[in-house]
Structures are given as structure tokens and as C-alpha cells.
Amino acid sequence: MHQSINNDFLQKAIGTPVRRLDALDKASGRAKYIADMKFDGLLYARMIRSSRARARLLHVAVPALPEGYYYISSNDIPEGGENRLYMITNDWRVFAEDTVRYIGETIGLLVGPDRNVLRDLEREIKISYEDLEPAFTIDEGLAVKGGPIHGEDNIFAEYNLKKGDPDSIFSGSYRIVEDEILTGFQEHAYMEPQGMVGEYKNGKYVITASCQCPYYMRKAVAGILAVDQEDIVVSQAITGGAFGGKEHFPDVIAGPLVVAVHVIRKPVQIVFDRHEDISFTAKRHPSRTRFRTAIDENNRIVGMDIDIAINGGGYQSCSHIVLQRAMFSVNSVYDLPNIRIRGRAVATNTFPSDAFRGFGAPQGIFACEMHMSHLARALEMDDAEFKQQYFVQTGGTTVTNGMIHEEVKLPEMLEKVLESSGYIEKNRLYAGEGAAKAVGISFYNHGGGFTGDGEKEIIKARVRVSRDQNHKVTIYVSNVEMGQGFQTTACKVAAKVLGIPLQDVFFQNPDTSVVPNSGPTVASRSMMIVGKLVERAARQLKNSWNDQGAVDAEEDYVQPPGIEWNSTTFQGDAYPAFGWGICAVEVAVDPATAEVETKGIWTVHDIGVPIDDLIVHGQVHGGVIQALGYGSLEKLEVKNGAFLQNTFADYIIPTTMDFPAVESDLVENPYEYGPFGAKGMGELVFDGAAAAYAAAVQKAVDRDICSIPVNPELIMKLRQA
Amino acid sequence: MQQITFILNGEKQVVSADPSSRLLDILRDTLGLTAVKEGCGEGECGACSVLKDGKLVNSCIVPMGSVDGAEITTLEGLRDTAEGENIISAYADSGAVQCGFCTPGMVMAAAALLRENPEPDEQEIREALSGNLCRCTGYNLLVKGVTLASERGKEKGIWQ
């Protein structure tokens, strides 16, 4: 285990792979995740949660607790502190008070030294409720069943977009094709469950957490204790996967935790077990997208009327922003005329939905891709042939009437996928055979970074890169390594600029008392936005490389020129640059059992320039397989407000046996304002595979597929219809 | 409580434990062996994989009562051996490590496979890793990592 890290990328292209900096520590089991860390006098906490979806909370009867055990609730919030979490929206409570809005809402914390005793004590807590009539589905939320949960109409957010003149289209004599596309909940299923430890040290509340966004957490909890944000220190522990599930949701754990630490003044750990983690954490938003599309006599699309609704659950959190991205993604890679899009994020009494890789785009793109494939079927055309007529081009117009600035390489990418997958020949052959086999295809893009001017107006990222007297370099950013490889790729960027070996560049897990705020680890922004700042800071450092002593270089975000955005009207360039993708999936459907065997998976992506080929392909493989799980296996149902599936025995994520290897290809398309030409990619690679899979099965069974997961039950149902 | 005697990573170990307690908890909490991860606690994910008498098991569903007289190997007992180093570095060089939480279990699964079958094909590797869940990699590079470990191990004569 003494092989040195490969530094070939210093002489060759930056994408030349290196051994990841964290690989040996993790693979040898030496890396300490939060549950592995030792703290003196550590106490454990169990969340006491609502068992009712919607109710008045009448009374919590806590038994007499043994010495050293505590029950923490809203009564323990200090004077001046607020019982609310300062997340993207401030509506989520730290502890439920008068009412509960969903099963699993935090009511209190039981804290003490022995986890078995805590389990026994939990059973003795008696909570009395007066049940209210809940609303679980988008329709029930819109119908304000049981009275409003939020505002007067349960609408967390509603937006309307218009491109061209959609009003003129639907009064004419065009053929109208209607469609309704549904997607369900999805569980992140990061392998390391949620966990953190809170301590009181030197007058500060220190939270060591498995998380994506240390600065978000600091902001979310400071107001609970009525302290300054600087009095909260968030230190990221090695994080065993996140996928958006550790973007905001950890704040919901950190809130009660800091109250416990405030009262007890001892270190307190909350680590969820898997049952808690699946049952009681946020999920991907379910969606319902309706289309009315006008087709002229030449079989051309002349307009679309689109209505998107997403299920936000009991609190808003970031649902409005997820909705925005779903809307901005619902024409995907197509430049279509005369578009109207209405979007609504709806309050219900399910567990609040939140960030998950793609952040609304997977829902918008799945809906778009399936609807486009339904139009192709209605017009008796092949999907790829039909869809490519509408590919957006450089200078083309988005649904926010912004412009595509970059070169669009979709035609070149399509050629590659057609060739690698054998799409045309196979589909011709399979159609001729009448066999239940087919190749499906999907097209997608994903805007990198925050929407519109969010990077400039809200995030205002700052990074620092320092060189010590021994000419060792350290990168200070608030973005985390959570599996995606950012620690390694950020170090590669600095090393390449400075022309020094990777071993001389360091990147520690962020701690808010040490690193500047370069923003959250979200929105495919870490490399494209923060990596660019690291590149600039390294260039600055290079100029002072021979100065005496230690040298610091700081850089602040600057918006690329030519980006126009109105954050009130949502008009203009929603994103500065896009990643682009095509995915083809070949399936064989068993005529008797309706079981689907995936025979091949082929992708081509344009992510600008890869900073590390191996890391990029690892992201592609992982994103595609996670999306194929979403599209085929991962059924997560709600019954009376509770998730029916809550273990890995019934919530099925892909194993080694479910899908063959993903064949992943890239086209280079350097982005001027990304480091070494890189664009965002972590979410893009999730966005399209579910639609490619569904389109393949759709072709194989010759029925329109309108929902995921496409499992044997759904296929049987379609066959009978 | 009961005195339970077993061989842990080559050394005799005596612990006092409830026979129904989980091997995982004894390894992690009592003995501090944190390379063994808890991912699900119900034998579905493989993050807590160890070898019991040479066979791959999920330590979260192994009761201590069944450990008496057994031989247990965790990653701590494997990682500094030629066999362990070979698998660990092969995963590292193949890009098979992302968040890393499943990786210790994947190392144990690979070790169990390669002892039985030093030159597995892709299908055999996929079957051997099928009890270990990974959410990051989509498994491709893990499979390649095991292939690389097999090739390098053969050159080094690890399984002779």
C-alpha cells in the first residue's frame, strides 16, 4: 500500500486519472465516520416523533427518568430563541408544539448514556392526540382536504411561464394530444445513515455532522438558541453518501440536538438506524405533470400547455426551488414553440419532500421524455427520429426565454449512442421478430449551479487557497467530499495550476470556524463554480509563489458576462451552462412473468472537460444505476401517511445483479468559465436513465408508459388494459 | 451474560456478553473495531461484513452465542496482510471507492470470493458482491477492482 499517487495529470490532460486521495483510508476502514468517532462522556439521543399524520398534540406524558436521562422539547428552547429552523424557508419547526403535520415530526428528544435504556424509556412515553383529517396526495392537497395545512389553499408556491404565444394555439383546429405523467417518492439510501454529534466547547456549540452544507446548518440553528451564527461551529465528518439527503434534512436533526446540548452541556450523538432513516427522512418529491400538446397537419408540435404539481409534504423547506427546476427542465433539450407552464408545490401531510440529486429536473425530464415518446408513438415515428427534430441549438431559446450560449453537441452525441447501442438495427430487428425486446433512448440536460443570479445575489462564494512556508498548499472551501470525489478533483485543479504534486495539496473536511463560505455542496456547483474559484486563487498564489513566509489567496464569485436573469419574472438565462446527456437502455421483457432483463446501458455526456476521467465515469455509473432503480425497482408507497417500505428488504435498491455495466462515453466541450473547461455533472447523470428504461419497456410491450417505477406489476396491468 | 471465547483477527478473545447480543455491537462498541460499519442492522446491506470461520457473514445478524469457538476476521485483521492490501489497493486504483461506507464490506466480500475462486469472471464477481449494497458506484468499478485484485494477486502468488 505504498504506491504513490499518479501525477501524470501534471504533464498530460487534467482528466488523466489519479488514485483518489481518500481511497486507501476508506477502503482500509481507517476513515472515521460520525458513528465511529469517540467523544468523552458521550450521551445518545432518540427522537420522539409523531405517530399521527395530522393532529392536535394534546399532551406528552414522560415517565420519571432515571438519573442522567433527559427529555428535551420546545420548553427547553431558551428565552429569545425561536422554535423554527432557518432553512431555505423558515416554516419547519424544531419541535412540534400544538399540532403535528406528518408522521415522524419531531416532538422531543430522549437523551442519556445507554441506548438500550433509551429504547425502553421511549415505549413509556405516552402522547395523546386529537386526530384531524389529513391530505396525502397532490389531489387531496389541492382540494384542501381537512382544511388548509399551509396558507388558505395548500399552495407553497405557484409559478407560470410563457414562451411564444400559447394562447393562440389551443383555439385553433390542431390535433391535441393529452398526457399525464407520474413519478413517486424516492429514498436517497446513502449507505451511511444520518448522524451527528453536538458539543459545547469554549463557549461555542460545535456540531460534527455527516452533511453537505455546513454553513446552511449553522444558519438553520443559531436562532433557536438566540446566538450569533459564529457561536455555532459546524464541522463536517467524513460523509458516507448524501445525494441531497444531507443538504437540508440534517438541520432537522441539528435543531433539537443543539437544544439538548444547550441544556445538558455534554456531547450528544444522534445516529439514525436504517429503519428510522427510511421512515423519517425527506424524500424526492412525487410529481404529476399534465400535457396538452397541439400538433399541426405536418405532424409538427406547434405548442404545449404543461401543468406540473409536486407533493411538498408538511413543510415547504425548498419545495418552491425544486418546483422551479422541474419547470425549467420540462422541455429538456427541446426548443419548442408556444409553451405555457404552470407549476405548483402542494402541501400535504406526508413527510416533507426535499433535495435529491437532480432537484426537480428528473421529474421534469421524465415527464418531458415520456410525453415526447408518446407523441412519437401517436405519429408512428421512432422516438429518436421524432425528438431530434426539436433539439435546441446554440442561440436557441429556453422556456424562460433565455439563450443557449454554448455549443450544443447533441447531434454528435446521438451518433455515438446510436452506434454503441445499435439502437436502429436492434429496434428494427426486434420489431420484426415481434419479440418483447427493445432499445429505449432519452435526451437530457442539466443547468449547473444555482438558478439565475443565485450565485451572485445569494451565495456569493468565497474560497481561500494558502501556501505555507514549506510550500505545501491547503484549499479552504465549505464544499464537502461526500463520495463524489471533490476533495481529489479540487486538489487536482490547484496542483495543475501550480505545477506541484498532488501530495503537496491538502483539503480538509470543512469546519465553519476555519473555512470561508463557498456555499453549499449542491446543484452540481462544486467543481463548476467553486472549482473555478480554486483555479483562480491558485493562479493568484502562483504569482506570489516565491514570496517569503506563508501566502493566502482569496477569490470571490464573479458572474460570467452575458448572463441575464430576472428573479421576479423568471425570465432570462436560468443557468449559465448546461451538461448534456443521452442514455440508451436495451431490455427484454419476459412474456409470462413481465420481468425485465436489462441487456445493455449506453451513455454519452457532455460535461465540458472531465477533471478526472475515472471519477467522472464513477459518477456516471452511479447516477445511471441510481436512476434505473428509480425507474424500475424503487417503489415507495404511503399508507395513512406512513411509508409502507422502510427497510432494505422491502425498499429495493439495485444490487450487482440488477443491471449490467454502464458503457459511458464523453464528448469534450470546454466551458470558458469552468475550471479547465469543466461544467457541472453530478446531477446530470441521474436525469435521463429512468426515461430511457421506461421508453424501452414501452416499446417492448407496445403500451404507453406514464409512471415509474416500471415494475412487473405495472407491465401486467398495462398488458391487461 | 456469558463468557464467550473466540479467535478475533488471529488472537484469542474473551468477552462477557449476552448470547443474543449482536456480533456487530461487540466488535464496534466493546472492541472498537470501527472498520465494521452498521448500514442497515438487518442483514441486507453487507456494510458490517466479516468472515466467520472463513465464510462471509453480516455481523449485525450474528448472535454472540454462535461466535463461541469461532474464528472471526474483520477488515482490521486483513488490511495489513498481503491479501488485504492487494484488494484495498486494487479498489483504490480502480476508482471503486466513493463515499467509502460500503467499501470495508466490499473488501471482505472480495476476500471471501478470491480465497475460493482466485480467477472469477464478471458474473462470479457480481454474484459474490450481490449481498453488499453500494449507492455511489453503480458497481462497475467495484467489479473491475475485484478483477484487478485477482490479476495482481495471481502475479504476487497470494492464493498459492
Closest partner residue to B130 (CB to CB) among A24, A33, A656 is: A656
CB contact under 8 A, B35 and A28: yes
Portion 161-220 of A in contact with B at CB < 8 A: 188-193
Q: Give the integer Cα–Cα distance in Å for A139 and A144.
A: 9
Give the confidence band of A432 by pLDDT, cuts at 50, 70, 90: low
Q: Nearest residue on chain B to A25, judged by CA atoms?
A: B100
pLDDT computed for residue B160 by the predictor:
77
Domain B79-155 has CATH 1.10.150.120: yes
Is residue A413 one of the residues assigned to a domain? yes
CB contact under 8 A, B88 and A22: no
Residue percentage of chain B with pLDDT more than 70 = 100
Tell me: do A704 and A716 sit in the same domain. Answer: yes
Is the pLDDT at A172 greater than 80, yes or no?
no
Is residue A618 one of the residues assigned to a domain? yes
Is the pLDDT at A339 greater than 50, yes or no?
yes
Give the CATH number for residue A658: 3.30.365.10
Half-sphere exposure of A684 (CA within 13 A, CB side): 31
Q: Is A27 on the interface with B (CB under 8 A)?
A: yes
Domain containing A13: what range? 8-31+458-556
Give B63 to chain A, closest Cα distance, Å: 17
Give A369 to chain B, closest Cα distance, Å: 23
Q: Is A626 on the interface with B (CB under 8 A)?
A: yes
CB contact under 8 A, B79 and A485: no
Give the confidence band of A721 by pLDDT, cuts at 50, 70, 90: confident
Q: What average pLDDT does chain A have? A: 97
Average pLDDT over every residue of A341-358 = 98
Picking from B86, B135, B147 by the largest number of A CB atoms within 10 A of its own CB, the best residue to mutate is B135
Average pLDDT over every residue of A454-473 = 96
Q: Is A245 on the interface with B (CB under 8 A)?
A: no
What's the length of chain B? Answer: 160
> Are the C-beta atoms of A424 and A294 separated by less than 8 Å?
no
Q: Number of structural domains, chain A?
A: 3
What are the start-end ranges of the H helices in A170-227?
214-222
Q: Is A615 on the interface with B (CB under 8 A)?
A: yes
Domain termination site, one of A507, A531, A556: A556
Closest partner residue to B95 (CB to CB) among A35, A618, A662 is: A618
| Model confidence, pTM | 0.98
Is residue A3 one of the residues assigned to a domain? no
Closest partner residue to B99 (CB to CB) among A274, A482, A626 is: A482
CB contact under 8 A, B99 and A27: no
pLDDT digits 0-9 by tens, A411-431: 999 999 999 999 999 999 998
Scan for cell 422551479, then name that residue. Answer: A324
Domain termination site, one of A277, A310, A329: A277
Query: How far does chain A reach from its first CA to its final CA, in angstroms?
Result: 59
Q: Is A294 on the interface with B (CB under 8 A)?
A: no
CB contact under 8 A, A624 and B138: yes
SS3 assignment, position A438 = strand
Q: Check if the interface score ipTM surpasses 0.90.
A: yes
pLDDT digits 0-9 by tens, A654-677: 999 999 999 999 999 999 999 999
Tell me: do A89 and A200 sit in the same domain. Answer: yes
Is residue A311 one of the residues assigned to a domain? no
Portion 103-142 of B in contact with A at CB < 8 A: 103-104, 107, 122, 125-127, 129-142
Is the pLDDT at B85 greater than 90, yes or no?
yes
Domain termination site, one of A556, A585, A616: A556
Is the pLDDT at A370 greater than 60, yes or no?
yes
Is the pLDDT at A3 greater than 60, yes or no?
no
Tell me: do A216 and A108 sit in the same domain. Answer: yes
Measured CA to CA in angstroms, residue A461 lies from A211, A250, A677 at distances of 18, 22, 19
Tell me: do A473 and A540 sit in the same domain. Answer: yes
Tell me: do A464 and A434 sit in the same domain. Answer: no
Tell me: do A595 and A690 sit in the same domain. Answer: yes
Q: Nearest residue on chain A to B138, judged by CA atoms?
A: A622
Closest partner residue to B88 (CB to CB) among A28, A273, A485 is: A28
CB contact under 8 A, A618 and B99: no
Q: What 8-state DSSP symbol labels residue A286?
A: P
- Which DSSP string do the residues of A688-702 spell out, in sequence order? SHHHHHHHHHHHHHT
Tell me: do A243 and A260 sit in the same domain. Answer: yes
CB contact under 8 A, B95 and A190: no
Q: Is A647 on the interface with B (CB under 8 A)?
A: yes
User: Can you give the three-state secondary structure of A98-127, one letter per residue?
Assistant: CEECCCCCEEEEEEECCHHHHHHHHHHCEE
Taking one residue from A and the other from B, the number of pairs with CB-CB distance under 8 angstroms is 182
Tell me: do A464 and A428 sit in the same domain. Answer: no
Is the pLDDT at A2 greater than 90, yes or no?
no
Tell me: do A128 and A221 sit in the same domain. Answer: yes
CB contact under 8 A, B135 and A241: yes
Portion 26-85 of B in contact with A at CB < 8 A: 28, 34-42, 44-45, 47, 74-76, 79, 84-85
Give B131 to chain A, closest Cα distance, Å: 8
pLDDT digits 0-9 by tens, A559-617: 999 889 999 999 999 999 999 999 999 999 999 999 999 999 999 999 999 999 999 99
Tell me: do A652 and A686 sit in the same domain. Answer: yes
pLDDT digits 0-9 by tens, A242-296: 999 999 999 999 999 999 999 999 999 999 999 999 999 999 999 999 999 999 9
Scan for cell 383546429, then name that residue. Answer: A173
Q: Give the integer Cα–Cα distance in Å for A399 and A161.
A: 7
pLDDT computed for residue A170 by the predictor:
86
CATH number (1.10.150.650, 3.10.129.10, 2.40.100.10, 3.10.20.30) of B2-77 reads 3.10.20.30
Other beta carbons less than 10 A from residue A396's beta carbon:
15
Q: Give the integer Cα–Cα distance in Å for A622 and A603.
A: 12
SS3 breakdown of chain B: % helix, strand, coil, rounded to 5? 45, 15, 40
Q: Give the integer Cα–Cα distance in Å for A544 and A621.
A: 41
pLDDT computed for residue B122 by the predictor:
98
Q: What are the extents of the domains in chain B?
A: 2-77, 79-155
Q: Give the integer Cα–Cα distance in Å for A179 and A291.
A: 5
Residue percentage of chain A with pLDDT more than 90 = 97
Q: Nearest residue on chain A to B101, judged by CA atoms?
A: A240
Q: Give the integer Cα–Cα distance in Å for A369 and A181.
A: 10
Phi/psi at B106 (5° precision): -65, -35
Which chain A residues are Cβ-neighbours of B127 within 8 angstroms? 656-657
Tell me: do A472 and A511 sit in the same domain. Answer: yes
> Are the C-beta atoms of A582 and A417 separated by less than 8 Å?
yes
Give the CATH number for residue A88: 3.90.1170.50
Q: Is B159 on the interface with A (CB under 8 A)?
A: no
pLDDT computed for residue A5 by the predictor:
79
pLDDT digits 0-9 by tens, A105-163: 999 999 999 999 999 999 999 999 999 999 999 999 999 999 999 999 999 999 999 99
> Are the C-beta atoms of A338 and A303 separated by less than 8 Å?
yes
Is residue A319 one of the residues assigned to a domain? no
pLDDT computed for residue A4 by the predictor:
66
Give A485 to chain B, closest Cα distance, Å: 7
Q: Give the integer Cα–Cα distance in Å for A206 and A243.
A: 24
Is residue A315 one of the residues assigned to a domain? no
Q: Give the integer Cα–Cα distance in Å for A626 and A351.
A: 22
The per-type count for chain B, helices as H runs and strands as E runs, is: 6, 5
Is residue A592 one of the residues assigned to a domain? yes
Closest partner residue to A662 (CB to CB) among B36, B122, B138 is: B138
Tell me: do A21 and A75 sit in the same domain. Answer: no
Which chain B residues are Cβ-neighbours of A600 within 8 angstroms? none
What are the start-end ranges of the H helices in B35-102?
75-78, 82-94
A64 Cβ neighbours under 8 A, 6+ residues apart: none
Picking from B98, B107, B113, B137 by the largest number of A CB atoms within 10 A of its own CB, the best residue to mutate is B98
Is residue A177 one of the residues assigned to a domain? no
Q: Give the integer Cα–Cα distance in Å for A376 and A385.
A: 8
Q: Give the integer Cα–Cα distance in Å for A200 and A190.
A: 29
A395 grid coordinates: 442561440
Give B51 to chain A, closest Cα distance, Å: 15
pLDDT computed for residue A434 by the predictor:
58
Which chain A residues are Cβ-neighbours of B47 within 8 angstroms? 191
Portion 30-69 of A in contact with B at CB < 8 A: 30-33, 35-36
Other beta carbons less than 10 A from residue A434's beta carbon:
8
Closest partner residue to B135 (CB to CB) among A33, A615, A626 is: A626
Measured CA to CA in angstroms, residue A398 lies from A333, A454, B110 at distances of 9, 18, 48
Q: Give the integer Cα–Cα distance in Å for B159 and A300.
A: 65
Q: What average pLDDT does chain B have? A: 97
With both helix axes pointing from N to C terminus, report the angle between B82-94 and B140-156 in degrees, rounded to the nearest 10.
140
